[in-house]
Amino acid sequence: MVDTAIILAGGFGTRLKHVVSDVPKPMAPINGVPFLQILLDTLRTKGIKRVLLATGYKHEIITTHFGAVYKGMDLIYSVENEPLGTGGAIANAFELLEPSDNNTLVLNGDSYFDLDIKSMEKRHIKTNSDISIALKKMTNFNRYGVVEIEETGRISKFKEKQHTKIGLINTGCYLVKYSCKNLLAQIKKPFSFEEKILENSNLSIILAGFEQQGYFIDIGIPEDYKKAASYFSK
């Protein structure tokens, strides 16, 4: 059972600077509550017991707010002294994992997906995947690239961002085997997890993608930040 998660919480929040300032993007307040707190509360209800927070920009704000334990969940901090990219942040966090952490959930600190972790883990194991990506079907968008999958769930293609009427997007939620630790450690930082790992056809890893139906929102732009406030006020 997956009980450990890594949250990438080092974002600057550049596109939100006119709405939120002086805090890391995951600490942007949603109806008076840090967005990161909403993520932690959600993970707790889904059985996560330990969270590694990959922090960077103004990391002390996060550590001061949450401390070492949050509502019974152990919090461990992996601090970037300089931007390492998504891949570098994940690689650093993986150095703090143990071999018993066979499959670890990785997610972005600026997006929310009501993920069915148990279902995803079941398919992740069934396909013997090294990395599984949670996918969400979206309509009429140009902000995200599209992920194409085979009937088995194996990923066949990543398509660049363009206007798309309907397609599956990468939600930034992953299940990653502990065995990927060595691969991550070999790549020079900074690096993009998406470009150097997921979209790198030269790597001999098994990638799968599984569609999920839960609510998804990325607070990275002011428009969706406001939508999040409306959604979480319910």
Question: Treating both helix axes as pointing N-terminal to C-terminal, what angle do 59-66 and 35-45 enclose, rounded to 10 degrees?
Answer: 50
List, as one string, the DSSP characters of 150-199. Answer: -TTSBEEEEE-S--EEEEEEEEEEEEEEGGGHHHHHHSPSS--HIIIIIT
- The Cα angle at residue 182 between residues 181 and 186, in degrees rounded to 5: 120
Let me know how long the chain is. Answer: 234
| 29 C-beta neighbours (distance < 10 Å), count | 13
145 in Cβ contact with 99 (< 8 Å): no
Is-catalytic flag, 161? yes
List 137, 159, 161, 226, catalytic entry: 161
- What's the count of helices (H) and strands (E) in the chain, helices before strands? 7, 14
Q: Considering only CA atoms, give the Rg of the chain.
A: 17
Q: What single DSSP character describes residue 68?
A: S
Q: Active-site positions? A: 161
